[in-house]
A and B are shown apart, each in its own frame.
Chain A
Amino acid sequence: MSTLSELAIAVEGGKRNDAKLFTQALLDQGLKPLAIVEQGLVPGMASIGEKFKNNEVFVPEMLIAARAMKECMLILEPLLAAAGIKPKYTAVIGTVQGDLHDIGKNLVAMMLKGANFGIVDLGTNVAPEKFVAAAQEHSAQLICLSALLTTTMPAMKLTVRAVRAAGLTSAKIMVGGAPVTQEYCDEIGADGYSQDAASAVDLALELAATC
């Protein structure tokens, strides 16, 4: 008998083959796909996120864990889709115009995915209008902007302005990246800032709940 906690541990440890086997075994035991996501994969990712926040593990371990989760999702996603189950919230994420740094953005995307958000990843060097169009198209609750350069922080401001101008009142904007601060977030009128990928999940859940 495989258990959900074994699955969570395999995901956290980045053991993708074990994680896939546990996922299949849990399905064979009759567990619902959504339960496997919420009680196996999500706790596994949450646990590694917490360790990342405390500097017990680093980016490579996070990516290995995310890859294990992704492989499990390849098994689960068709079943979830067939049952008409969609993630409760959708987040559009990208690195702002002019900026090509994507490691931090990818980690945030991964952690949100690990918390069962639907993710629309627009990549790097994303123009304000592209954020707006994607948020409209996917009815996103969250728009997540990353910037790593002082020279591209103004593009973050322009993106916030474009989202507001488009009247996307139901979407909340989260910002982050090494040079970004809570003060800057307030100054440009974004809705929330967080310093790392694990805290970004708490903030995202908080903001999405108010949409």
Chain B
Amino acid sequence: MQRSYYLGLAEVGLRMPIGTHLILHEAADPAAIELDGQRLGDVIVRTAGRFNTPLAVPLMDLKLEKEAMLAARGIAGGQIDSYHFDELPAEAPAFRLTPRMLATCEAIRHVAKHPDLVPMGMGIGPFSLMTKLISDPITPVFLAGTGLTADEEPEVALIERVMELGTELLLEYFSAQIDAGAKAMIICEPAANLVYFSPNQLANGYDIFDRYVTAPMRRIKALFDARGVDLVFHDCGELTTGMVERFATLDAAMLSFGCSRQLWEDAALIPKSTVLYGNLPTKRFPASQLSVADVELLAREMLDKMRATGHPFILGSECDVLSVPGSEGEIMAKVEAFMKC
């Protein structure tokens, strides 16, 4: 897509949640739909229609890539959540798209038949994927930040190897989504945050963050550039300003940050060619303590403050808005409130 396309959407005041989970869970059999590309594609199309946006956002499910990585090694079912690599994995066996991944690609293919929609792809970022594959990823990241290398510290070697294998897998999965017709890819890196990278350590330099987050993201961006696909980068973790500055260099079409950031303050750090997206506190939407009127107020405040910065902006959610059983009405009322206030 031309970058002016996203800037144009911001210009006309587009608002939208990351709302596919909400619409999926209106169906009686969401788990079956997740495996059925055609029906999943319909859900994505319906979501775009419901929220009046041309951006067709797939379901955000950051479990898929770990599942695929383990399936290639014969680990499946109930073992997946708790499985972690505790020694250097041998050469990667050939990786195959799992049924959920195939359904995601099929759904994108289905969306691509709608000329009024921008088919988008979705996936986890390399660093966040690594954190899911290691039982304690934080300590080795910290040790690497003190200067210990893979040769000196086996745990550093482990995270670096797992990250390398994970990145290879992501490049294949993202290529498959692009082959299916994705014109933009939403990459979620929620673990690239100050829980995993100590601000005290970063105060002495961002080398470790650049090596473990920015550099692998650049590899992914290079694929997107080669295929003419736009990057939408999402990170709802708690971020330092230095992290935001680094994400600003990714040349993303859109950047989406969680509630730890005041987007109107971050606007000055982001190039004008990148649309800022977000970041109403949607995880609080199920709670009655946050009323519809509160949401309207927050939305109006955010719009005013962003308008004052002059930065291209799309009002939306801090992450994907989850459907909570029993609170569906409450959540949807608040989403609708910010869509039209």
Contact = CB atoms under 8 A, between A and B. Distances in A.
B195 interface: yes
B286 interface: yes
A154 B286 CA distance: 11
B142 interface: yes
Complex A-B, nearest 8 residue pairs according to Cβ-Cβ distance, in ascending order: A60-B142, A60-B198, A58-B198, A59-B195, A150-B286, A151-B322, A150-B324, A63-B139
Contacts of B325: 151, 154
A34 B139 CA distance: 27
B54 interface: no
Interface of A: 57-61, 63-64, 67, 100, 103, 106, 123-125, 149-151, 153-154, 178-179, 181, 183-184
B219 interface: no
Given A58-B200, A60-B198, A154 B326 contact: yes
B200 A61 contact: yes
A154 B323 CA distance: 13
A60 B197 contact: yes
The binding surface of chain B is classed by DSSP as loop
Nearest to B142: A60
B255 interface: no
B136 interface: yes
A183 B323 CA distance: 21
Contact of B284 (A103, A149, A154, A179): A179
A151 B331 CA distance: 12
A125 B326 CA distance: 21
A179 B283 contact: yes
A14 B326 CA distance: 45
A60 B201 contact: yes
A179 B319 CA distance: 14
Nearest to A183: B289
A150 B283 contact: yes
B88 to A, nearest CB: 20
B322 A149 contact: yes
B27 interface: no
B81 A58 contact: no
